[in-house]
Chains A and B, each alone.
Chain A
Amino acid sequence: LAKTTQPISMDSYEGQEVNITCSHNNIATNDYITWYQQFPSQGPRFIIQGYKTKVTNEVASLFIPADRKSSTLSLPRVSLSDTAVYYCLVGNNNDMRFGAGTRLTVKP
């Protein structure tokens, strides 16, 4: 089971790009990296998933270096509605542990 480490909190301003880095030094060969977003009193929502290099979808990009011991979630041009907790998970679903995540606060 790969343990992940993320910053506890981050602040940003509207329109800025936000990068949240997650460390997972013990990631296994078959592990994928998945990011979720959670608003208060709601269940987490899947954002993006990747295995290596770069993945991009309509809401975010995920950068994974060759050694896969870390990953960076990139949110382009954040808005106030992006204020949430962001979780990085690695492994398979039956072994996944959600840590405390990163609380992102976007300011006007």
Chain B
Amino acid sequence: SQTIHQWPATLVQPVGSPLSLECTVEGTSNPNLYWYRQAAGRGLQLLFYSVGIGQISSEVPQNLSASRPQDRQFILSSKKLLLSDSGFYLCAWSRDRVNSPLHFGNGTRLTVT
């Protein structure tokens, strides 16, 4: 069966510090990968998606970036965090881009202080 791992579960970082969140998927090959962010009490905002190694599409311009160095690894980064980057970050995978359901990790709660 397929599993998705996301870490860390919680993170507190000062403004201006860098960020690196990692997500890995097991049990499948060539998954589509996604990063979402959820502000408190709000819906999920799609940040990035990737259909293959090195292929990243950005949905929202911001100071975050994503990379996919390996088939089942997706990394969310920032060089300098802003207060507004606080939120719940979720990684997800799917089998294809058309209608395959998304499978989410347990998320990372990021607080920028």
Which residues of A approach B to under 8 Å, CB–CB? Answer: 30-32, 34, 36, 41-46, 49, 87, 92-94, 96-101
Contact assessment for A98 and B43 in the assembled complex, using a CB-CB cutoff below 8 Å: yes
Which residues of B approach A to under 8 Å, CB–CB? Answer: 32, 34, 36, 42-46, 49, 51, 57, 88, 90, 92, 94, 96-107, 109
For A99, list chain B residues within 8 Å (CB).
43
For A100, list chain B residues within 8 Å (CB).
42-43
Which 10 residue pairs across A and B have the least CB separation, nearest first? A43-B104, A98-B44, A32-B99, A46-B101, A98-B43, A100-B43, A99-B43, A43-B90, A92-B98, A93-B94
For B103, list chain A residues within 8 Å (CB).
46
Nearest chain-B residue to A33 (Cβ)?
Answer: B99
Closest CB-CB distance, B5 to chain A, in whole Å? 12
In the bound complex, what is the Cα–Cα distance between A101 and B36 (angstroms)?
15
Contact assessment for B43 and A43 in the assembled complex, using a CB-CB cutoff below 8 Å: no
For A43, list chain B residues within 8 Å (CB).
90, 92, 104-107
Contact assessment for A94 and B49 in the assembled complex, using a CB-CB cutoff below 8 Å: yes
Given the interface pairs A92-B97, A98-B36, the reply to whether A44 lies near B102 with Cβ below 8 Å is yes
Closest CB-CB distance, B103 to chain A, in whole Å? 7
Contacts across chains A and B counted by CB atoms under 8 Å: 64
A-B contact pairs, 7 of them (CB 8 A): A36-B102, A42-B107, A44-B90, A92-B99, A94-B32, A94-B51, A100-B42
Contact pick for B104, options A32, A34, A44, A97, CB 8 Å: A44
Closest CB-CB distance, B18 to chain A, in whole Å? 24
In the bound complex, what is the Cα–Cα distance between A93 and B96 (angstroms)?
8
For A46, list chain B residues within 8 Å (CB).
101-103
Closest CB-CB distance, A52 to chain B, in whole Å? 13
For A32, list chain B residues within 8 Å (CB).
98-99
For B42, list chain A residues within 8 Å (CB).
100
For B105, list chain A residues within 8 Å (CB).
43
Contact assessment for B107 and A41 in the assembled complex, using a CB-CB cutoff below 8 Å: yes
Contact assessment for A44 and B44 in the assembled complex, using a CB-CB cutoff below 8 Å: yes
Contact assessment for B98 and A93 in the assembled complex, using a CB-CB cutoff below 8 Å: yes
